Chains A and B, each alone.
Chain A
């Protein structure tokens, strides 16, 4: 499975708002990419990701998923995408094992598969020793890792991560980044938003820079740096979006 995504002329306006949150956004994510969706606060990153995963419906434009040469239907898309939202999206009153069992079942995974995947994920993410403790008592870093584990319990072909390392310590951040690299090595496409530009620079091979609801730069990271004469992603970011506050 090697999933690519096409974003074509997406427009979106939140109900009751005068301005468009997304203005004719267009780019593509190639199979096996680690794709950075970057931009200042309020640029439209989360809105775009919400449309890509099906939480919001675009006013116009299309999001298409391809596996090899064939376009995937909506039912199939829901099975091949994994979504890791910025907020903790699990039940704090349940244990990691119970959370993974529930969300795994929502993907129609057999119990045996859920058990083995749970064991594997908790081990890799360093959570085996708290497998049967309520998540509500966990540290921020542990919660982030649980959030991630739930999003990939079904071994998705493409993973969407909205600020997956926000508010965690260096150790947890590195564990998450390493894990994402390992997933990508198995040809999993990753779409990722973050304000940690150094982390994005380490992780992403291609980026789309969004500002005021529009894509202002989109290419391989190295090509963008070269084209804009920037030494790193942060200087590129400031060059293109300016230094003023956005929120």
Chain B
């Protein structure tokens, strides 16, 4: 026990004597979580709170083009800059020159084509309702169209969303025209304002519910997603400092001296495990405290700590231990600090990418989703998400606890076998 305490004290002193290194172990993860959360937060808020700037060129000879732009502006999602003097050929150049991201071009025949389409629908309805005695075939009219220009830096799913919103408002304008046409063809003199109002405003409201077990009603947001995810990444990134530290210790003369003493190198490993696990837990405490106490003050969502604190503490401890054991395993197998740094850092980046730290696993191809199930970062992330996003129970955490515990034991076994193979234990 005395040896273990002395070894732990030595590790603490080594860390304490390198105050800048120690500071960086806390500052860099905090900075990482801050930056990623702010970036992700602005990305998720852009559609909800910020208006999307768009260049608009309306060459429509009728009124529907202007109506469409009014409705899009009225939605609160878009802010248009009208430049009707531009030709569609120049629009591409204008976007490039001005560094704008999107443009909408409404062609001269937009209203004409919408009206033709409305007439076609009206004729079909009258024919089917037996109101039109003429047997003449209904002529299919050319479809109306608008052109959407976008900068290729925009993500595909974002441009699809914008196109869908524009499409929805075009349908809105078109529906109004169809109603007008129906009234006109049925020779009803009353203005269909009331019907139009009811039809166009009678859209189904969609209530959203984030599924979860608790009653706290946790709302998924950039903070709840990013803080746990990037905290896990930061914890596992400890492989760079701890892995290299183990190699340094093994290559150091003090290690040779230790072999002549009544002490085992495994003692050194255990003391490192305890000290660095404590560091990892402190990292979590610091980052989560900032999430709870500071984020709201700088305009981010406040981090909500799960109600089941015991389960939360268990996941934190297991994740910390998993990160430390992986770092020790890398350090035990690497022959040089360069090997430990290179392999350690890249492997964590890969585990993070596969584990859904950067992008959710459900959007990955099927085979990648299968591979992602073997990332320890994925298991830890699941543990945090079960608690932070779903207010899950111990039962929900069962597989996470088993997987992470299995990973920890595999790492310890690997460390032991390696040290034994090198006759160090």
Contact = CB atoms under 8 A, between A and B. Distances in A.
A38 B256 CA distance: 22
Interface in A79-98: 79, 81, 83, 85, 87-91, 93-94, 98
A85 B262 contact: no
A41 B247 CA distance: 28
Interface stretch (B8-16, B35-43, B77-85): B8-16
A215 B408 CA distance: 50
Contacts of A89: 252-257
A27 interface: no
Interface string B351-394: 00000000000000000000000000000000000000000000
A88 B253 contact: yes
B310 interface: no
B252 A106 contact: no
Interface residues of A, number: 28
B263 A98 contact: no
Contacts of A108: 2-3, 262
Chain B residues touching A, majority SS: helix
Given A105-B3, A105-B6, A106-B6, A94 B17 contact: yes
A106 B258 contact: yes
B253 A106 contact: no
Nearest to A94: B13
Contacts of B13: 93-94, 98
A53 B259 CA distance: 9
B306 to A, nearest CB: 39
B17 A75 contact: no
A81 B257 CA distance: 11
A102 B7 contact: yes
Interface string B10-37: 1001100110000000000000000000
Interface string A99-111: 0011101111000
A107 B262 contact: yes
B423 interface: yes
B205 interface: no
A220 interface: no
A81 to B, nearest CB: 6
B262 A106 contact: yes
Nearest to B263: A106
A150 B257 contact: yes
A170 interface: no
Contacts of B421: none
A151 interface: yes
Nearest to A111: B2
Nearest to A154: B261
A102 B193 CA distance: 89
B24 to A, nearest CB: 16
A88 B255 CA distance: 11
Contacts of B258: 106
Contacts of B261: 78, 103, 106-107
Interface size class of B (residues with CB under 8 A): 20 to 34
B215 interface: no
A181 B14 CA distance: 34
B9 A102 contact: yes
A54 interface: yes
Interface string B382-412: 0000000000000000000000000000000
B260 interface: yes
A88 B258 CA distance: 13
A55 interface: yes
Given A85-B253, A108-B2, A94 B14 contact: yes
B260 A55 contact: yes
A240 to B, nearest CB: 30
Interface string A215-237: 00000000000000000000000
A214 B311 CA distance: 65
A134 interface: yes
B211 to A, nearest CB: 51
A57 interface: yes
A107 B263 CA distance: 8
A78 B259 CA distance: 9
B260 A78 contact: yes
B17 A134 contact: yes
Contacts of A107: 261-262
A145 to B, nearest CB: 15
A91 B15 CA distance: 12
Contacts of B254: 89-91, 103
Contacts of B255: 89
Contacts of A98: 10, 13
Of listed A75, A79, A105, A150, residue having the most chain B CB within 10 A: A105
Nearest to B259: A55
B20 to A, nearest CB: 12
9 contacts: A53-B260, A75-B262, A88-B253, A90-B253, A101-B6, A105-B7, A106-B3, A106-B261, A107-B261
Given A90-B253, A94-B17, A107-B261, 4 more contacts: A53-B259, A55-B259, A78-B260, A106-B3
5 closest Cβ contacts across the A-B interface? A105-B6, A89-B253, A87-B253, A89-B257, A83-B260
